Amino acid sequence: MEAYLDNSATTQVFENVTEIMTRVMHVHYGNPSSLHAKGLEAEKYIKTAKGIMAGQLKVREKEIFFTSGGTESNNLAVIGTAMANKRAGNHIITTRIEHPSVLNACKFLEEEGFEVTYLPVDKNGVVLLDKLEEAVTDNTILVSIMYVNNEIGSLQPFSEISEIIRRKNPKTVIHSDAVQAFGKCRIFPQKEGIDLLSASAHKLHGPKGAGMLYVNSRIKIKPLFYGGNQQDGLRSGTENVPGIAGFGEAVKMAYDNLDEKTQRLSQMKRDFISHLEKLEDVTVFSKNEGCFAPHIISAGFAGVKSEVLLHALEEKEIYVSSGSACNSHKKASSATLQAIGVPKDLLDNTLRFSLSYETAEEELDYTIETLTQLLPKLRLYRKR
Amino acid sequence: MFKSFLIKYAEIGIKGRNRYLFEDALVGNIRLMLDALEGKFRVYKTSGRIYVDVESDFDYEETVACLKRVFGIAGICPVLQVEDNGFEELTREVLEYLDKVYPDKNKTFKVQARRARKNYPIDSMEINRKLGGAILEAFPEIKVDVHAPDILLNVEIREMINIYSIIIPGPGGMPVGTAGSAMLLLSGGIDSPVAGYMISKRGVRIDAVYFHAPPYTSERAKQKVVDLAAKVAAYTGPINLKVVNFTDIQLYIYEKCPHDELTIIMRRYMMRIAEHFAKEQGCLGLITGESIGQVASQTMKSLAATNEVCTMPVYRPLIAFDKQDIVDIALRIDTYETSILPYEDCCTIFVAKHPVTKPNLNIIKKSETRLEEKITGLVDEAIRTAENIEIIPG
């Protein structure tokens, strides 16, 4: 049996999505900027996708911009805002648990003379609101806080966050990296006070290489690329029409029956955690239901290196991540796990199980069963 | 402009009555290596010379790069071959050759003619003089230097006439296969690929064995070794790689033996298994990338302890090399970048904090007796389940 529990790294593409993409590539392959009918056909796919996204977010279609993925969306949001608001101030606030595409964009801006505050989080990975309040000043041009954390799944109380920021500085732009949230949570940027919101197609059964940035029309940001002025000049370059069409279709399917699917996932997560906790020496970090998204489970396995456990599970066709997949190429302990206070001896012993609506109960049962067999065997050879 | 290469070889020339064996091997190896390129190449031996003629469109740079990896080649000379249409025509061809190959004429030269075909109407000295005169006349900046010329222009009168002046250094060494074959213990590190390269350069065909320890090592670590083997194979030709699952043996040693002796005992079993495959495949020795004192398992005492299990010669070409010297070669043969990829291999995961650096062979042997119950079965199993991967040059 195979258990793919790495859906926060990437997901299998839905068949409907592949179908629509194939159609775009083979039949409606025009350049949306072309004046002729082939161009118009292609443009329609983009319009449809925009409509789907705008509908779900309850925003206007012209506020949706397509990019090459989450990383570009985050860079465009963070760097684009900073560059457009240089005169208003040079202070940026983010958190210690952001994705590298936000953190490293901030590092770049620090080199360019901006000041960045990295907010701490509590043991549930939620931003410390009093620290946030302290940090916002007249000089703050941007606050970037992720919606759902990619490693532990922590959710942020966005309405409260925006309220605090707006009270202290109404001009501050609020960005949220919602790559792990879009398609899994109902997000309403207007209501929650989010001006910029990033999303990625391949995290919700869409194709790789397609991303989205919602930009509130009152916000001015500078583009990263210069060229043919497609997408109102904010993102030059011929649109990735098959990717965008597939993205739209994937979003439609993700939000179809969302509440029912979320309920099922939550129940699965609850069961999985209770089974995990019955195993010896396992610590679950993403337990508190109010604070965590229903699709990510982060757990520490004392005495077993996460990489070893990961490969042992792989031999049984169970696929998981150690830390976050983007991070596992370098040998540094996860900043997120450190930020939520995971004890030192569990930092390199933590696995992430990430589910999707497609995950079957049997996959989780099989995983628990396999862990039950593997853990005692692997622990025989603890480093003495 | 070049459609032909003259291949110079050094050491083969002195091999007496075996010479044809070496030459034929070199011709065969050149053919094999050029096979991977696009283009039609004719490789042949004639009157003590090896030529590569190109009979189609080809990529000059790529072809030279390929020939530079064939052991046994001392020099590669791109040759202009012209038909004999009289001396005047030859003079014209020589001038055109010089003009094309040396856009900057501010150089010294010497003509070196040779008549393999003695019925050519003008003798060598005369050719030298006449061509030299014509060159001086055609290109006023150029000067003659008979002792150390920048350009040594060779004109060889054979069936066709060869004109050449460029000698691109080859890798040297001996044609692969002429010395026999040996089994390389290949890890994912920097040293072992270099060791394989060096021994192969002496004419040795290489087979390799890699020990992996899933789940303690990943598929990526194994892929890295496969990629490394392909880089080595770019010089040595196809390699038969055995991938041995070493996990159970490693865990068993870990369970039964003192941890500071772990690496030594582990390496002793690796040598035993490598030797088994070496014998099975008709190899005449083992090759390792060890260098005295580089790590705890490579002190002289450790090497002696590891060596003790082998009945075959173990070739350690890097034994007296500093790390930087090894890195330099790794960079030159393009294995370095792959070697430094960060996937753990089984040598780094089970290391004790303070491994023994001066193992006492008697103590090691005594520790190994604790393994008696199961070790033979585990070794047999590891040998039986080893995966065979045919590595083609990459």
Same domain, A135 and A238: yes
DSSP character string of B71-102: TT--EEEEEEEE----HHHHHHHHHHHHHHH-
Confirm if B276 and B244 have CB atoms less than 8 A apart.
no
Same domain, A300 and A157: no
Same domain, B251 and B372: yes
Question: Tokens in use for B276?
Answer: 């088994």
Interface check A332 vs B, CB under 8 A: no
Same domain, A247 and A264: no
Shortest CB distance from A381 goes to which of B217, B218, B254? B254
pLDDT tens figures, A358-371: 999 999 999 999 99
Same domain, A182 and A249: yes
Q: At B282, which CATH number?
A: 3.40.50.620
Confirm if A352 and A360 have CB atoms less than 8 A apart.
no
Q: Please report the number of interchain residue pairs, chain A to chain B, with beta-carbon separation below 8 angstroms.
A: 29
Domain tally for chain A? 2
State the pLDDT at residue A323.
Answer: 64
- Which of the following is catalytic: A106, A185, A291, A326? A326
Same domain, B286 and B350: yes
pLDDT tens figures, A319-334: 999 864 444 445 567 8
Residue of A308, A316, A348 best to disrupt the B interface, most CBs of B under 10 A: A308
On whether B211 is known to bind a ligand per the annotation, the reply is yes
Last residue of a domain, one of A196, A224, A255: A255
In 3D space, the residue among A156, A87, A88 whose CA is nearest the CA of residue A122 turns out to be A156
Residues from chain B contacting residue A329 (CB–CB below 8 Å): 342
Q: Find, in chain A, the residue whose alpha carbon is nearest to that of B219.
A: A311
SS3 for A248-270 is HHHHHHHHCCHHHHHHHHHHHHH
Question: Tokens in use for B81?
Answer: 């071959």
* Identity of the amino acid at B201: K
On whether B186 is known to bind a ligand per the annotation, the reply is yes
Q: Do B214 and A310 touch (CB under 8 A)?
A: no
Same domain, A243 and A121: yes
Q: At A321, which CATH number?
A: 3.90.1150.10
Shortest CB distance from B215 goes to which of A315, A329, A384? A315
Same domain, A162 and A92: yes
d(Cα A321, Cα A4) in Å, to the nearest integer?
10
Last residue of a domain, one of B149, B169, B189: B169
Task: List the end-to-end C-alpha distance of chain A, in Å, as a whole number.
Answer: 34
Same domain, A111 and A249: yes
Question: Tokens in use for A163?
Answer: 């309220």
Last residue of a domain, one of A212, A235, A255: A255
Interface check B152 vs A, CB under 8 A: no
Q: At B56, which CATH number?
A: 3.30.2130.30
CA A99 to chain centre: 8
Residue length of chain B: 394
Label residue A237 left, alpha or beta by phi (over 0 means left) and psi (-120 to 50 means alpha): left
Same domain, A242 and A313: no
Q: Do A331 and B255 touch (CB under 8 A)?
A: no
Q: Do B259 and A384 touch (CB under 8 A)?
A: yes
Q: At A36, which CATH number?
A: 3.40.640.10
DSSP character string of A264-302: HHHHHHHHHHHHHHHSTTEEESS--GGGB-TTEEEEEET
Same domain, A228 and A336: no
Is A106 an annotated catalytic residue?
Answer: no
Residues from chain A contacting residue B251 (CB–CB below 8 Å): 380-381
Q: Do B344 and A312 touch (CB under 8 A)?
A: no
Provide ipTM, 2 decimals: 0.73
d(Cα A59, Cα A82) in Å, to the nearest integer?
23
User: Domain for residue B212, yes or no?
Assistant: yes
In 3D space, the residue among A274, A285, A272, A279 whose CA is nearest the CA of residue A342 turns out to be A285
CA angle B390/B244/A331 to nearest 5° reads 100
d(Cα B220, Cα B222) in Å, to the nearest integer?
5
Chain B: closest CA distance from residue A381 (Å)? 7
User: Domain for residue B147, yes or no?
Assistant: yes
| Helix locations, A316-357, DSSP H | 335-339, 344-347
On whether B254 is known to bind a ligand per the annotation, the reply is no
In 3D space, the residue among B55, B61, B52 whose CA is nearest the CA of residue B30 turns out to be B52
A279 CB neighbour count, 10 Å cutoff: 14
Domain tally for chain B? 2
Same domain, A86 and A226: yes
Last residue of a domain, one of B169, B189, B217: B169
Last residue of a domain, one of A206, A231, A255: A255
Chain B: closest CA distance from residue A311 (Å)? 5
Task: Report the relative pairing of strands B204-212 and B239-245 from DSSP bridges.
Answer: parallel
d(Cα A86, Cα A242) in Å, to the nearest integer?
36
d(Cα A67, Cα A237) in Å, to the nearest integer?
10
Q: Indicate the average pLDDT of chain A.
A: 94
Domain that holds residue B282: 181-391
Same domain, A171 and A293: no
SS3 for B330-355 is HHHCCCHHHHCCCCCCHHHHCCCCCC
Last residue of a domain, one of B169, B195, B212: B169
Q: Rounded to 5, what percent of chain A is helix, strand, coil?
A: 45, 15, 40
Q: Which residues contact A372 (CB under 8 A, 6 or more apart)?
A: A279
Same domain, B145 and B260: no
State the pLDDT at residue B346.
Answer: 46
Chain A: closest CA distance from residue B223 (Å)? 14
Q: Do B342 and A384 touch (CB under 8 A)?
A: no
Same domain, B372 and B245: yes
Q: Do B342 and A314 touch (CB under 8 A)?
A: no
State the pLDDT at residue B283.
Answer: 97
On whether B210 is known to bind a ligand per the annotation, the reply is yes
d(Cα B66, Cα B62) in Å, to the nearest integer?
6
User: Domain for residue B302, yes or no?
Assistant: yes
Residues from chain B contacting residue A381 (CB–CB below 8 Å): 251, 254-255
In 3D space, the residue among A226, A262, A276, A228 whose CA is nearest the CA of residue A83 turns out to be A226
Shortest CB distance from B215 goes to which of A308, A330, A384? A308
d(Cα B246, Cα B279) in Å, to the nearest integer?
19
State the pTM of this model.
0.83
User: Domain for residue B175, yes or no?
Assistant: no
Output the CA torsion sign for A254, A256, A261, A263: positive
Residues from chain A contacting residue B349 (CB–CB below 8 Å): 308
Interface check B343 vs A, CB under 8 A: no
Interface check B256 vs A, CB under 8 A: no
Same domain, B231 and B128: no
d(Cα A170, Cα A282) in Å, to the nearest integer?
45
Residue carrying structure tokens 């397609």: A210
Residues from chain B contacting residue A307 (CB–CB below 8 Å): 218, 344
Q: Do A307 and B254 touch (CB under 8 A)?
A: no
* Identity of the amino acid at A234: L
User: Domain for residue B267, yes or no?
Assistant: yes
Q: Find, in chain B, the residue whose alpha carbon is nearest to that of A306.
A: B216
Residues from chain A contacting residue B344 (CB–CB below 8 Å): 307
On whether B185 is known to bind a ligand per the annotation, the reply is yes
What are all long-range contacts of A223-231, with beta carbons under 8 Å and residues at least 24 apart? A223/A76, A223/A80, A224/A72, A224/A75, A224/A76, A224/A79, A224/A80, A228/A33, A230/A32, A230/A33, A231/A65, A231/A66
User: Domain for residue B387, yes or no?
Assistant: yes
| Helix locations, chain B, DSSP H | 19-34, 60-67, 87-101, 124-138, 191-201, 219-236, 247-256, 262-280, 300-307, 323-332, 336-339, 346-349, 361-369, 375-384
Task: Report the relative pairing of strands B4-8 and B75-82 from DSSP bridges.
Answer: antiparallel
Residue carrying structure tokens 């030299």: B132
State the pLDDT at residue B31.
Answer: 95
User: Domain for residue B97, yes or no?
Assistant: yes
User: Domain for residue B174, yes or no?
Assistant: no
| Helix locations, chain A, DSSP H | 15-26, 37-57, 70-84, 100-111, 129-135, 158-168, 189-192, 241-255, 258-278, 306-315, 335-339, 344-347, 361-379
Interface check A133 vs B, CB under 8 A: no
d(Cα B11, Cα B19) in Å, to the nearest integer?
10
Same domain, B134 and B229: no
Domain that holds residue A292: 3-11+257-383
Question: Tens place of pLDDT for every residue, chain B, 394 residues?
Answer: 899 999 998 776 566 778 888 999 999 999 999 998 999 999 999 877 899 999 999 999 999 999 999 999 999 999 999 999 999 999 999 999 999 999 999 999 999 999 988 889 999 999 999 999 999 999 999 999 999 999 999 999 988 899 999 999 999 999 999 999 999 999 989 999 999 999 999 999 999 999 998 888 888 889 999 999 999 999 999 999 999 999 999 999 989 999 889 999 999 999 999 999 999 999 999 999 999 999 888 999 999 999 999 999 999 999 999 999 999 999 999 999 999 887 755 445 566 778 888 889 999 999 999 999 999 999 999 999 999 999 998 7
Interface check A271 vs B, CB under 8 A: no
State the pLDDT at residue A325.
Answer: 44
Same domain, B273 and B316: yes
d(Cα A125, Cα A119) in Å, to the nearest integer?
11
Q: Which residues contact A360 (CB under 8 A, 6 or more apart)?
A: none
State the pLDDT at residue B295.
Answer: 87
Q: Do A312 and B218 touch (CB under 8 A)?
A: no
Query: Which segments of chain A have a pLDDT < 50?
Result: 324-329, 384
Residue length of chain A: 384
State the pLDDT at residue A326.
Answer: 40
d(Cα A103, Cα B315) in Å, to the nearest integer?
50
Same domain, B163 and B17: yes
Residues from chain A contacting residue B259 (CB–CB below 8 Å): 384
Same domain, A262 and A154: no
Same domain, B95 and B204: no
Question: Tokens in use for B57?
Answer: 């469109």
